[in-house]
Copies of this chain bind each other. A is one copy, B any other.
């Protein structure tokens, strides 16, 4: 089956409670993910997760939300595929594993846990105004640069 071409999965992580700047960045990140025909993965809730999904939707992209709780209706309105995991914050690991590269936008401790899990298992992490915990996080200045770097990292794997 040499002709199977898997879609690229890009995860966008960040807090449900985020700054206006992070919201704008996340929306732009989502747009560029969709423009590049990648699938957007996120935690499915509000804030950065919602704005990234909104941006992807505006460009006709596909969005997947891996929810911590039990209800499909917990997902923000821009999620196409809502997956209620029932695993609480253990779903953070699912977001990381489902993504081939991860873009972190700002974020608090939940985001930091996802960054650390990603680095632990070897998923590339691109950072936009997020935790500065070492050179393993690939820094980007703009949403477009972040998505380009994420795609570059996936393609060289």
* Interchain nearest-CB distance for A130 vs B (Å): 12
With A4-B77, A70-B97, A131-B133 in contact, is A87–B89 under 8 Å at CB? no
With A109-B119, A113-B117, A120-B113 in contact, is A6–B82 under 8 Å at CB? yes
Contact of A94 among B85, B110, B131 (CB under 8 A): B85
Copies in the complex: 4
B89 adjacent to A90 (CB under 8 Å) = no
A86 adjacent to B83 (CB under 8 Å) = no
Contact of A89 among B77, B83, B117 (CB under 8 A): B117
Total residues of chain A contacting the partner, CB 8 A: 43
State the CA gap A94–B81 with chains docked (Å): 13
B120 adjacent to A116 (CB under 8 Å) = no
With A6-B82, A80-B7 in contact, is A117–B92 under 8 Å at CB? yes
Bits for A49-87, please: 1 = Cβ < 8 Å to B, else 0. 000000000000010100000101101010011111111
B86 adjacent to A89 (CB under 8 Å) = yes
Q: Which residues of B contact A88 (CB under 8 A)?
A: 70, 86-88, 93
A83 adjacent to B97 (CB under 8 Å) = yes
- The reply to whether the CB of A112 lies closer than 8 angstroms to some CB of chain B is yes
With A88-B70, A113-B113, A116-B116 in contact, is A93–B93 under 8 Å at CB? yes
